[in-house]
Amino acid sequence: MREKSVTEQRYDAVLGVISEGRTVMEVASQWGVSRRTLHRWLARYEADGLEGLPDRSHRPERCPHQMPAEVEVLVLELRRAHRYWGARRLALELARKRVTPAPSKSSVYRCLVRAGVIESDKRHRRKEIWKRWERGGPMELWQMDVVGGFLLADGTSAKALTGIDDHSRFCVSARLMPRERTQLVCDGFLAALRVHGVPQQVLTDNGKVFTGKYARPPVDVLFDRLCRENGIDHLLTQPRSPTTTGKIERFHRTLRIEFDTRRPFTSLTPTPLPRSGQPQNSMGSQLHGRRDESATGLLSGGHGLGRLWIHYFRHDRPIRLGGTRHHGFFWGRERGQQT
């Protein structure tokens, strides 16, 4: 015998009251439902007949907090133009464009999932073996490193001296170099000190340009001497422990994504910015826009996309200060003056 569908069972319950004249309590007990549910079936049958008995959608008729269609289109257009931007960056850009109502990060994330642009990620429990740490205020600690992989058309590659403040994530150094040499690294370090002031501590890896502790025999390198002369405590990571400088490593990832370093650049020489619509493929025009005496470039100096991006990283993106979200600013060490 074929099993009755849900609609047929509800129809039999309704007939038990209407045709057979049984009480609502009796029929409800027979079908294992409440009297309120059976009264609802009777009302639906009286209003819509047999078509009112199947299950109905539980979706609300209106949702006041749902993202408007116009805002959703803006989110998807921004994502298509910048495929590496996540929900946090998209929400920030919409707020800067004064889009109203401004969607939250979670709303933008759900929009991307609905459109099939990204897949919903499962939340993973944080591994207890990793210890997250952050200094209590700006200028307490800088994280610095040298990153390579900036390919040039002549087959060579450039490197960059990068540095961020551990607390505010403010970019204190982004200096382009043709080679990783002690003098070039120290020039970039001194330039950062002149511009932003002297931090209490500097954290680096054990590269030869930063320390001679692991040389045989151990030697005193120029970077160590500069730290001592300026009263800076130079901290080193444990060997084979890249997670200690995780903030600067994450900065490198953002740097590669924003500048698309998978493609080769023509040269390190800065060129005039092209007019709108013209290609821009010089590493100089993309990343700095000027040259100094040592023939190295500043990612944060001059004009070009590099300066604009560094300005965003320093000032426009939200950063955490004192446990709350603020827009980026940076405090010098002496007298707490803003720089």
Residue-wise pLDDT for 224-258, tens only, equals: 999 999 999 999 998 877 778 889 998 898 888 87
Given 3.90.1150.10, 3.30.1330.10, 3.30.420.10, 1.10.3720.10, which CATH number is that of 141-271+281-327?
3.30.420.10
Helix (H, G, I), strand (E, B) or coil at 324: strand
For residue 217, say if its preceding peptide bond is cis, omega within 30 degrees of 0. yes
pTM, two decimals, is 0.59
The answer for residues whose C-beta is within 8 angstroms of residue 278's C-beta and 6 or more apart is none
CA distances from 28 to 20, 24, 57, 94 (A): 14, 6, 23, 54
| Residue 205: predicted pLDDT | 93
| Residue 165: predicted pLDDT | 93
pLDDT at 127 over 90: no
pLDDT at 216 over 90: no
| Residue 308: predicted pLDDT | 57
DSSP letters spanning 256-319: HHHHTTTSPBS-SS--PPPPTTS----HHHHH-S-B-TTS-EETTSSSSHHHHHHHIIIIISEE
pLDDT at 260 over 80: no
pLDDT at 135 over 50: yes
Helix (H, G, I), strand (E, B) or coil at 122: coil
CA distances from 319 to 36, 88, 104, 117, 165 (A): 53, 12, 16, 26, 11
Mean pLDDT of the chain: 78
Lowest-confidence region among 2-11, 77-86, 263-272: 263-272
Lowest-confidence region among 73-77, 173-177, 234-238, 303-307: 303-307
| Residue 52: how many other CB atoms lie within 10 Å | 17
pLDDT at 53 over 50: yes
| Residue 186: predicted pLDDT | 94
Q: Tell me the Ramachandran region of residue 319: left when phi exceeds 0, alpha when psi lies from -120 to 50, beta otherwise.
A: beta
Tell me 222's DSSP state: H
Kindly indicate the confidence band of residue 71, based on its pLDDT and cuts at 50, 70 and 90: very high
pLDDT at 279 over 60: no
